[in-house]
Amino acid sequence: MFNDIGPLELVTIIVLAVLVFGPEKLPKMIQDVTRTIRKIRDFSESAKADIREELGPEFKDFEFEDLNPKTFIRKQLDNDELGLKEIRNGFDLKKEMAEVTDAVHGRDPDPASSSSAAGSTGGSVDLTKKREKLAPDERPPFDADAT
């Protein structure tokens, strides 16, 4: 419940509680707070049980944590009915970006990556073609479609 409270923050809260309530009333306040937290947890658990009972047997695997969008997406990706893991594992964004960067800068790509890239592009335009060398004072040709 209080996973994001650090030790310094906890000490600060304790010091403030002692200053505000005093050392005489502090134990009673702690008991009241813990009793209230227990009642809230009991109420929450009974509400969850009532909702599960009302939903019926079709939703026996239903967990309220699944309503969190991150948890829902993670659970759906673990299902992998669509083959997303295969697509994600077959696509190396860093390698693809390196090939595009090399093509733009006119550098020779790594021989190992170009042979695998040629097989993975599936007949698309090869971006890693060697460009013609220009003279130092010569400008590259203007391509209106590229801008």
For 94-119, the pLDDT digits (tens) are: 888 888 888 888 777 655 544 444 44
Quick check: is 136 in a domain? no
Please indicate, yes or no, if residue 39 is contained in any of the structural domains. yes
| pTM for the full predicted model | 0.41
Both tokens of residue 139?
């400008």
Mean per-residue pLDDT for 2-7?
78
Whether residue 84 is contained in a domain is answered as no
Enclosing domain of residue 51: 7-62
For residue 2, being part of any structural domain is answered with: no
Does residue 21 lie in a domain region?
yes
Read off the pLDDT of each residue in 24-40 and give the average, rounded to a whole number: 93
pLDDT of residue 38: 97
Number of domains comprising the chain: 1
Please report whether residue 146 resides in a domain.
no
Q: Is residue 43 part of a domain?
A: yes
Rounded to an integer, what distance in angstroms lies between the CA atom of residue 147 and that of residue 138? 20
pLDDT band at 141 (very low <50, low <70, confident <90, very high): confident
Q: Is the model more confident about 125 or about 85? A: 85
Which of these, 114, 119, 112, lies nearest to 129 by C-alpha position? 114
Residue 48 pLDDT more than 60? yes
The amino acid occupying position 85 is: K
**Residue 41 falls within a domain, yes or no?**
yes
